[in-house]
Structure 1
Amino acid sequence: MARVLVIGAGGVSSVCVHKMAFNKDIFTDIRLASRTLSKCDAIAASVKDRAGVEIRTYEIDAEEVPAMVNLIRKVQPALVVNLALPYQDLPIMDACLEAGVDYLDTANYEPKDEAKFEYKWQWAYHDRFKEAGLMALLGSGFDPGVTSVFTMWLKKHKLKTIRQLDILDCNGGDHGQAFATNFNPEINIREVTAPARHWENGEWVETPAMQVRTAFDFEEVGTRNAYLMYHEELESLAKFVPELERARFWMTFGDEYIKHLTVLQNVGMTGIEPIKYQGRDIIPLQFLAAVLPKPETLGETTKGKTNIGVIATGEALDGSGEKTFYINNICDHEEAYRETGNQAVSYTTGVPAMIGSAMVVEGKWQGEGVFNMEEFDPDPFMAMLNEHGLPWDVKELDGPVDF
């Protein structure tokens, strides 16, 4: 039983806080803070209506470390759950160290001035957290997060070694908008427009963004074009599954999304360098994010399903030779909205954030330092996925999938 402080008030935070409130035997006191107090209050009102749980809210700039320290000391949580923007990871980690509290997030740090996300900045905090006797759990979303846990479950129960790994993220939902992103537009577009990278034979192989694609038939969604991208769990998987010969990440995008994004890139609207407009510096991508539909407003109109999973090939645990397994979750946008008021993209990240928080506060995952999901026993996390809205399925395939 624990008090937690959640930072951020977007769709993922809304899902996480709702799910925490539905599990008040674990989370006895939930506090919520963000830069915009009205967003916190709206989530708190929804939680009160759906779960009958009162949540106290606070206004905070998560990049202001002294203010964060004061808030943490005032609230005295067992865990700070960072569901704000990736830019804010390091300031919040600094505040947790100073205030003496454990830390969790769903996405690794990304500098504001460079569209690059990797774990090196947060891994550098390991000794400081260890010396303080504190734990930081990184990437407790779906991808990263669940996909890493899926991989380690396969390695524990099915495969002695994993030679090849493909992560497939399909959003088959339709929100009815000409162009909108299902999570923070700025982060989404920076991710999609960055060069693709995958791990092969002990090194990173880089290709132009959105140039390599394959068609895959996703159960309950249908055949969709999936594009090779870089995603942060590839970095941690390459570290913690050292025998990997190849690891790739694929995400689906519709033709309309690609068309709109191509035009926006061509006219400079996805840039992150400041430009002068009427005597003021503006960042084109931030302006674009401000005029696009807010992801948290898409839940009511989004229909369809997501299908996210991993395909792993390697030496079978039972000594029967090489085998290939596919483990995945299918989530319904409308069911997610009925339960939490948010669409499935937020749901599939917010639920794992709640489960990771439960792992930490209940002591099922313990340690001093900075940790990734691959470093812990996958079984209790996998059990909670089945119990709390993200049931998974595993099947053996005839052989490796040829992309």
Structure 2
Amino acid sequence: MSKVLVIGAGGVGSVAVHKMAMNPDIFSHITLASRRLISCEKVAESVKKLVGVDIDVAQVDADNVEETIALIQKVQPKLVVNLALPYQDLAIMDACLATKTDYLDTANYEPRDTAKFEYSWQWAYQERFKEAGIMALLGSGFDPGVTSVFASYIKKHLLDTIDTLDILDCNGGDHGQHFATNFNPEINIREVTAPSRHWLNGEWVEGPALSHKQVFDFDQVGEKNMYLMYHEELESLATHYPEIKRIRFWMTFGDAYLKHLEVLQNVGMTRIDPVIYNGQEIIPLQFLKAVLPEPSSLGSTTKGKTNIGDIATGQKDGQEKTVYIYQVCDHEDAYAETGNQAVSYTTGVPAMIGAAMMLTGAWKGEGVFNIEQFDPDPFMDMLNKHGLPWQVKELDAPLAF
């Protein structure tokens, strides 16, 4: 049994803490910290009501390394689970280095002033974490996270070699709003408006954002338009599985969402450079975030399902084969269990499972690791047991371009 410190009290943090509280044999003591103490207190009340477990709460500015160090020293956790904003990854990693505490996150670092996310900044901590004798597990969400574990499971059990890999992310949920994002609006819009990139024969191929789409029939959701995008697990998978010739990421969007996004872009509301308004400097995208619905508030109204998975082609026993491994999650079921919709649930549960892998010693090492570098089997087993059951199908043909 181990103490854990969770930083970040949004929807993902809420789900992770609820699921940790359901596993007291692994998580003996949970402290939830955030910039806003009231957010932590609301989650603590929900955990007490739904699970019957008391957790501690604390206030922390995760941008302030010294403040985070002080909290870690007070709580004395075996692991810090970073479910705050990606901008804060490096500051929290610095605090973990200073206190020699293991670290886990769900999304890679990106600077506030540039819409660019990549692993280089965090991979640069490899030697320092190794010298400190501690471990960092990067990207233990769903995508990145489960989709990367799916890839390692495919490589271990389903294909001898992987030639192509497509990651498909479908949210078939409807929250009843004209325009809202299912996770942090600022991060979501930065991702969606970035140029598309995919890995092909050892190099990156770039294109305009949302310029390539195809229709796919998702199990339990139906036919949806999905768009070629860049996502961070492409970088780590291309690094750790160099034999894969092509790696792509697809995400579904409805026409209404894209129309609203186009208008917001056209009028400058998605800009991340500061503008002067009434003598004050504001960032339009951050202001837009403030007026959009808080993602954690959408749980009670969201209906439908998510379907996220991997399609891989390759060789098995000398024969060409295409396999599809995926997970379907119901928004209403997720809300009933944790008070959060499925987008938060599908990220928060893998964060709990990754933490469990580290705390139980199922995954261990010294340095900085991506999730696909470990044995997928114990993680996959916990997915089935803790609310994210997966399934495998063999397909007649690979995904077309």
Alignment TM class, shorter chain as reference: over 0.9
Residue 100 of structure 1, CA deviation? 1.1
Q: Output the amino acid matched with 1:225.
A: N
Task: Tell me the equivalent position of 2:69.
Answer: 69
CA distance in 1, matches of 2:344, 2:189: 16
Cα deviation 1:146-180 (Å, max 9, x = unaligned): 00000000000011111000000000000000000
Task: Tell me the equivalent position of 2:80.
Answer: 80
Task: Tell me the equivalent position of 2:337.
Answer: 339
CA distance in 2, matches of 1:298, 1:130: 41
Q: Output the amino acid matched with 2:78.
A: A
Cα RMSD for the two superposed structures:
0.5
Task: Tell me the equivalent position of 2:383.
Answer: 385
Task: Tell me the equivalent position of 2:353.
Answer: 355
Structure 2 residue ranges without an equivalent (≥5): none
How many residues are matched? Answer: 401
Identity of aligned residues (%): 71
Residue 320 of structure 1, CA deviation? 3.8
Equivalent in 317, 327, 330 of residue 329 of structure 1: 327
Is 1:31 equivalent to 2:70 in the alignment?
no
CA distance in 1, matches of 2:360, 2:76: 17
Listed as ranges, the matches of 1:281-292 within 5 Å are 281-292=281-292
Cα deviation 1:267-288 (Å, max 9, x = unaligned): 0000000000000000000000
Cα deviation 1:348-378 (Å, max 9, x = unaligned): 0000000000000000000000000111000
Task: Tell me the equivalent position of 2:143.
Answer: 143
Q: Output the amino acid matched with 1:368.
A: E
Listed as ranges, the matches of 1:271-310 within 5 Å are 271-310=271-310
Residue 400 of structure 1, CA deviation? 1.3
Residue 30 of structure 1, CA deviation? 0.3
Listed as ranges, the matches of 1:142-221 within 5 Å are 142-221=142-221
CA distance in 1, matches of 2:136, 2:279: 43
TM-score, with structure 2 as normaliser: 1.00
List structure 1 runs of 4+ shifted beyond 3 angstroms: none
Residue 401 of structure 1, CA deviation? 2.0
Structure 1 residue ranges without an equivalent (≥5): none
CA distance in 2, matches of 1:243, 1:59: 46
CA distance in 2, matches of 1:158, 1:211: 32
Q: Output the amino acid matched with 2:292.
A: L
CA distance in 1, matches of 2:392, 2:318: 18
Is 1:394 equivalent to 2:383 in the alignment?
no
Is 1:370 equivalent to 2:368 in the alignment?
yes
Task: Tell me the equivalent position of 1:242.
Answer: 242
Q: Output the amino acid matched with 1:399.
A: A
Is 1:117 equivalent to 2:79 in the alignment?
no
Residue 322 of structure 1, CA deviation? 1.1
CA distance in 1, matches of 2:295, 2:96: 28
CA distance in 2, matches of 1:42, 1:374: 34
Cα deviation 1:99-142 (Å, max 9, x = unaligned): 11000000000000100000000000000000000000000000
